[in-house]
Structure 1
Amino acid sequence: MDTATSPPSPDHWRFYRAVWRWHFYAGLFVLPFIAWLALTGAVYLYQKPIDRWVHHDLKVVEDPRHARTRPSAQIAAVTALTRGEVFRYTTPERRDGSVEIGVLEANGRREVYYVDPASARILGHLPDKGTFAGVVRRLHSLDLLGDYARALIEIAAGWAILLVLTGVYLWWPRGRKGGVSTVRGRPGQRLFWRDLHAVTGVWVGLVLLFLAVTGMPWSVVWGKQVNAWANGQDYGYPAGVRVQVPMSHQRLADASTPTWSLQQAQLPVSSLPHADHAPVDGHGGHAGHAGHEGHEGHGGGALGDLSAQPGSIGIDAALQRFDGLGLAPGYSVALPRGPMGVYTASVYPEDLAGQRVVHLDQYSGRVLLDMGYADYGALGRGLEWGINVHLGQEYGTVNRLFLLTACAAILMLCLSGAVMWWKRRPIGSMGVPALPRQQRTVAVVFALLCVGGALFPLVGASLLVVGVLDFIVSGGWGAVRQERD
């Protein structure tokens, strides 16, 4: 995937050939992944308006002006239709939005029921993460294929970083003017596609590098290790994510979809009330039976429900408490699981300043932990900012339009690279760029790449595999006759 119109000076030629060879390998392996990620990522940038359009009957209510029924009544309407356990209640982000109630069905599947908050009428249901946007996100991350696919994403992101860095080296002018900032030739010529690839790549390369790095937190090996490490440091995430407050073995991720920073977060524990000191609800009365609101006779289970524990303040009082704390609209509430469980509200709006997780004691309604973006350390804030920008959320419309343009440019980069390779490859050959004559040069370039690969274990392992294969096929990186374009 050459980007120059004439060879560099003799002093640079040997390194140029070695770098070009690895740039070719990186493009060969990663361009299909990059194209797929750019295409699905562009769609996901507009997940909310697309979901409102695709699932309008479920997500939008007809007349939002009516007074709203109590959350317990809405949950009772759902449990009247299903034998499953309610584990999550999500408030509408917009006034004309429906309430979303997550249920663990008897067969083990998780379903989301959409309810009109004014009438408690059930509008329908979908599998958890089964909306159009949910499917697109799973396609984007290859989550549908499990950890194996997530490993491929990690490798692809690392090779994308390699692709950008080697591409910048190949693009570097070295006294040339053509193919640096302008595109020469006509679409039928290889020169046109080479210049288009080079010019597009150098402008979109920085964005691609940013997306590759900020996409790494979701990777199966590197992401998990960095997440665990960040959660154990003061400059990472808040004390409550770790062990400075009494914690259970339950995790926030079991009942909700937390932001990346809270994937390791455990839940605090509620204090069991004494029989003669029943907790007081938000209206000044005793809450000994509040947990049974609209739910009589429905027993608790593995995920718990409103009536699982006598003495719980109940979902209505919990929602009142969360509203009083000023959480952004659209927050989700995970219901207590077991006698030590807590009510947990979490919300991750586009503005990072509104990101927040609050845990309430299920008996007293006392705030056990209230943490947000401002509570994170420098590392945590930096990682969360990068993730939010990657998702097109932090700067609203400007962020989305910028990334949409970048996705289009990345697709053009992939197309131009493929066309350029097709036009230059010899018939019956892969068209791998020839090795330089100096064997040591190839080894030095490979060693430098492996140093970078050490930062990302799966990427480093794949580099070693490709390097060994290249070494064997090329006859030990021996002297190879240079080919000129």
Structure 2
Amino acid sequence: MVALDQNPVATGADDGQTAAKYYRAAWRWHFYAGLYVIPFFIMLALTGIAMMWIAFFDGRDCEYTAVIAQETTTAVSVQAQSALAAFGGGDVMHYTAPRDAQTAAMFRVDTDAGTMIAVVDPYTAQVIDTFPRGAGYYDMMDNIHGELMLGVVGDRMVEIAASLAVILVVTGVYMCWPRDRSLRAALTPRLAAKGRAFWKSLHEVVGIWVSVVLVFFLISGLSWAGIWGGKMVQAWSSFPTLQSASSVSSEVPVGDVLHGAMNSGAKDIPWALELVPMPASGSLAGADGIAEGLPVAFDTIDALARQVGFAGRYQLNWPMGETGVWTMSQVSMSRDDISPTGDRTVHVDRYTGNLLADVRYEDYGLMGKAMAVGIALHMGTIGIAFIIFNTLFCLTVLLLCASGVIMWWKRRPARTLRLAPPAMPQDMPLWKGAVVIGLALSFALPMAGFALLVVLVAEWLVLSRIPALKRALL
């Protein structure tokens, strides 16, 4: 729940004062968390809606560009030469196969002017369109959604908001949970209420109904964040070695390049593989791949991809460096397939054409599987039904934000814009237990702990020592 206003509920005579103190303490933290989180929730909801519908209608990189189907396609190497010619040279680094017979292929080309995309007709090898990688509306929304277009600083700001939002949900559910009323009453808004009572009832009921879904979106989003995701959960959940996950060979040499290096302005690599070292070319290890006597080149690699089971749209990355490998993949978060359980990544030795690794969804650990499914649900890549559901969810988040602000507006002192947060209850019982809970939360969600520490220091070091500022704000 995103509330800037709540009221304590009545309890029994014996426990009333204690319960009221707990309630006001939860309300105070709910208020402070909402103060920071509300602008981010509005941003995340609006950009999330935009990204889902842009991807549905146009794709992230014009991937739905239509072509006229013909009997035969040109060789992919010829298509790649056309892509290079469109930029006057460069290096082809990535190929996205057409989704079906009526859509175009795409090539990522690294040029002196930056990373570019060429959209190519697979039947005529004619270049239909060119544009800088990441220049579309989807990528702009994605950059705002993930990092406010501020890089690492923006990523940390969004992570703080998502971490504090977990506190928001926990404290909100605690305050809204029925004590002196039935569960049915707590889950039904009082539409006949007026003024602040109406908004409070609407906010509580909507918040309880969406709390579980909101926590899911927060956790799945935090898994992409730089601290909680990249430094903690993802690092603990990755494969110890690629050989332990691959169904091909346990004797393949490993290089010093991580799978995440193949991401170029977008998260195309499965979450469970990003921090895992890639195999290295240059040995005789691996299973039979390209037939003996055939060159290991673009066309034969594409033919091998079809031979081992890649159908329709799939991604092909060029080898990076002398020991680099060809990498073909088909993953749901790249919108190659709507089913996250169909994720697959295959590596091929650039010299021998041998299959070095074949990693599938079944090989992922528990967290990797959860993230594969969670990301697909979070992004709405599973199908139109989930896009509609996610859109409705985002609209409810906007409703929670609006109702929280309205409640604060109606509660604030008249004719003033003071924040007027709930007062901290005196003689809080079991405060040592609250400190322990706070420390545990800080370890579990370090950016939330950092934010709470900043608030405490600001109140103690600044507001408490400057009476005029304290009166103006509080």
For 2:196 and 2:243, the matched residues in 1 are separated by: 49
- Residue range with higher mean Cα deviation, 262-271 or 175-184: 175-184
**Aligned length, in residue pairs:** 441
1:96 aligns with 2:127: no
Q: Which residue matches 2:40?
A: 33
Q: Residue 77 of structure 1 aligns to a residue in which SS?
A: helix
Where do residues 94-133 of structure 1 align in structure 2 (5 Å cutoff)? 94-107=100-113, 109-133=114-138
The question of 1:79 aligning with 2:84 is answered: yes
Unaligned 5+ runs, structure 2: 332-336, 466-474
- Which of 419, 427, 451 in structure 2 is aligned with 1:430? 419
1:270 matched to 2:270? The reply is no
Are the aligned partners of 2:9 and 2:20 in contact in 1 as well (CA < 8 Å)? no
Q: Distance in 1 between matches of 2:56 and 2:392?
A: 19
- Residue 58 of structure 2 aligns to a residue whose secondary structure is helix
Give the match for residue 208 of structure 1. Answer: 214
Structure 1 residue ranges without an equivalent (≥5)? 274-278, 288-312, 477-485
Contact 2:52 2:387 (C-alpha < 8 Å) held by counterparts: yes
> Contact 2:290/2:354 (CA < 8 Å) preserved in 1?
no
1:410 aligns with 2:397: yes
Indicate conservation of the 8 Å contact 1:446/1:467, yes or no: no
Give the counterpart of 1:318 among 286, 294, 301.
301
Tell me, what secondary structure is at the counterpart of 2:117? strand
Matched, 1:44 2:27: no
Which residue pairs with 2:334 in the alignment? none
Deviation at 1:72, TM superposition (A): 0.5
TM normalised by structure 1 equals: 0.83
**Residues 40-439 of structure 1 aligned to structure 2 (within 5 Å):** 40-52=47-59, 59-81=64-86, 82-107=88-113, 109-142=114-147, 144-176=149-181, 180-184=186-190, 189-225=195-231, 226-233=233-240, 238=245, 245-256=252-263, 257-271=268-282, 282=291, 285-287=293-295, 313-348=296-331, 349-394=337-382, 396-427=383-414, 428=416, 429-439=418-428
SS state at 1:80 partner? helix
Shift in Å, 1:92: 1.2
* Alpha-carbon contact 1:15-1:445 (below 8 Å) kept: no
**455-464 or 195-204, which moves further after superposition?**
455-464
Q: From the superposition, tell whether residues 195 and 260 of structure 1 become closer, same or farther in structure 2 (CA, over 3 Å).
A: same
- Partner Cα separation in structure 2 for residue 235 and residue 317 of structure 1: 25
Alpha carbons of 1:245 and 1:7: their partners in 2 closer, same or farther (altered >3 Å)? farther
Provide closer, same or farther for how the CA distance between residues 93 and 202 of structure 1 changes in structure 2, counting only shifts above 3 A.
Answer: same
Q: Contact 2:24 / 2:425 at 8 angstroms: preserved in 1?
A: yes
Other structure's SS at 1:144 match: coil
8 Å CA contact 1:150–1:219 kept in 2: the answer is yes
TM-score w.r.t. length of structure 2: 0.85
**2:322 partner amino acid:** P
Give the Cα separation in 1 of the matches to 2:322 and 2:97: 25
Q: Contact 2:104–2:120 at 8 Å: present in 1 too?
A: yes
Write the distance in 2 (CA, Å) between the matches of 1:464 and 1:20: 17
- List per-residue Cα deviations over 1:283-320 (Å, max 9, x = no partner): x6443xxxxxxxxxxxxxxxxxxxxxxxxx11000000
Q: Does 1:460 align with 2:443?
A: no
| Cα pair 1:40 1:140 within 8 Å, conserved | yes
CA deviation after TM superposition for structure 1 residue 233, in Å? 4.5
Query: Is residue 451 from structure 1 mapped to residue 440 from structure 2 by the alignment?
Result: yes
1:183/1:150 Cα in 2 relative to 1: closer, same or farther (>3 Å)? same
8 Å CA contact 2:241, 2:277 repeated in 1: no
Cα offsets for 1:324-366 (capped at 9, x unmatched): 1112422111112333222111121221222111011123221
The RMSD of aligned alpha carbons is 3.0
**Offset at 1:272?**
6.3
Structure 1 pair 55–393 and aligned structure 2 pair: CA distance change class (3 A)? closer
**Retained in 1: the 8 A contact 2:318–2:325?**
yes
